[in-house]
Amino acid sequence: MVRATCVSVASAWTTPELPSLVAATSPGRERQARDDRAEQAVARFSTARLREAYPEVEVVGRTVRTGPAHALLAGTREAGVVVIGARRHAGRVGPPVGPVAHVLLQHSHCPVVLVPATG
């Protein structure tokens, strides 16, 4: 059975607070335009390899300005499944997965697939 669907790749980031002097001298519109261009570039870059490897699959990239756990959790409302890389750290105290995977496993609105990450 072939299922017509798309892959959505989310990139989440937050901008650090700027010192008041820098913020006061940077026009807001210019800074916003620069941030918007950076977001578009990240979305294109993060999906380029997928688009090349699987040209028959629609790949949608989006960048959001929030933490990764919040961004992925919000995306699970519309997703059929969420797939994330998970690193297990031997001898580490606490959950066997990182904080983002932990949040998704506890609160996701769809099934979560943990793929062992290497490196």
CATH code of the domain in which 87 resides:
3.40.50.620
Greatest mean pLDDT range, 34-38, 56-60, 104-108: 104-108
Q: Domain check: are 95 and 114 in the same one?
A: yes
Range among 31-35, 80-84, 108-112 with highest mean pLDDT value: 108-112
In this structure, the answer to whether residues 56 and 81 fall within a common structural domain is no
**31-46: buried (b, 16+ CB within 10 Å) or exposed (e) per residue?**
eeeeeeeebeebbeeb
pTM of the model: 0.64
Same domain, 71 and 91: yes
Give tens-digit pLDDT for 7-30: 888 777 666 555 554 555 556 677
59 and 112 housed in the same domain: no
Same domain, 103 and 46: no
For residues 115 and 70, state if they share a domain. Answer: yes
Q: Are residues 91 and 104 in the same domain?
A: yes
User: Given a cut of 70, is residue 3 above it in pLDDT?
Assistant: no
Residues 23, 52 share a domain: yes
Domain count, the chain: 2
Judgement on whether residues 61 and 96 belong to the same structural domain of the protein = no
In sequence order, which residues have a C-beta less than 8 Å from that of residue 91 and are 6 or more positions away?
none
